[in-house]
Amino acid sequence: MAGNPERRAALVDAGVEVLAREGARGLTFRAVDAEAGVPVGTASNYFTGRADLLRQIDTRLHTRLAPDPQVLAGLLERPKDRSLVTAFMHDLMGRATRDRTGYLALLEMRLEASRRPELRASFTKSVRADLDEGLAFHRAAGLPGGDEVVTVLYLAMLGLLLEHLTLPDVLDGVLPGVTVPDGLLERITATVVPEE
């Protein structure tokens, strides 16, 4: 295996682009090479196979879509109430919207994990680790609501992100006077997070 870390990172990011645009069936070493602008055969020198590339894309996506520690620190200076939870949900929506390609690739990873048992185990582990981290963060920050609130927010935001990034017009006008996605996000937190 080739050992140039910058080249490997560029190939993984190229894989993210291909996965988001073409889906898992279009994710070939040749497509990754073309996206990265490198000679044909380069990706095969960096990954042991397609499963290895998918695992590395999984790791990269969780890094790309992670919250900015400085943004979190700034938000945590605010009162620990429902409005802060709403601000965290806005941050999540903003990150997914700014890196739409990354989030779409993450959705493609979910679909591919449903088809491939060897990917399902590792992807389930990484997604569960993200959820566990969110639960622990919520508790440690002293935010209102417990694990149930975080779990419901997780599921609601997953649905909102899916609609907003794939078929944004579906939700337009469903709730008169409520904007998509921000107004819906406000509704979600107002419905799920207890007032304290």
Per-residue pLDDT reduced to its tens digit, 42-56: 999 999 999 999 999
User: What is the model's pLDDT at position 42?
Assistant: 97
Element (H, E) at 154: helix 147-166
Cα separation of 142 and 191, whole Å? 19
User: What is the model's pLDDT at position 118?
Assistant: 85
Mean pLDDT of 20-47: 97
- Given a cut of 80, whether residue 3 has pLDDT beyond it is no
User: What is the model's pLDDT at position 196?
Assistant: 74
pLDDT tens-digit readout, 90-106: 999 999 999 999 999 99
Q: Do the beta carbons of residue 163 and residue 171 sit within 8 Å?
A: yes
pLDDT tens-digit readout, 148-166: 999 999 999 999 999 999 9
User: What is the model's pLDDT at position 1?
Assistant: 64
Mean pLDDT of 61-80: 96
User: What is the model's pLDDT at position 86?
Assistant: 97
Cα separation of 20 and 30, whole Å? 16
Both tokens of 18, joined, read 């291909």
What's the predicted TM-score (pTM) here? 0.93
User: What is the model's pLDDT at position 2?
Assistant: 66
CA 106 to chain centre: 6
Q: Which residue has the tokens 């493609």?
A: 108
DSSP 195: P
Q: Do the beta carbons of residue 102 and residue 14 sit within 8 Å?
A: no
Mean pLDDT of 49-76: 95
Cα separation of 168 and 145, whole Å? 29
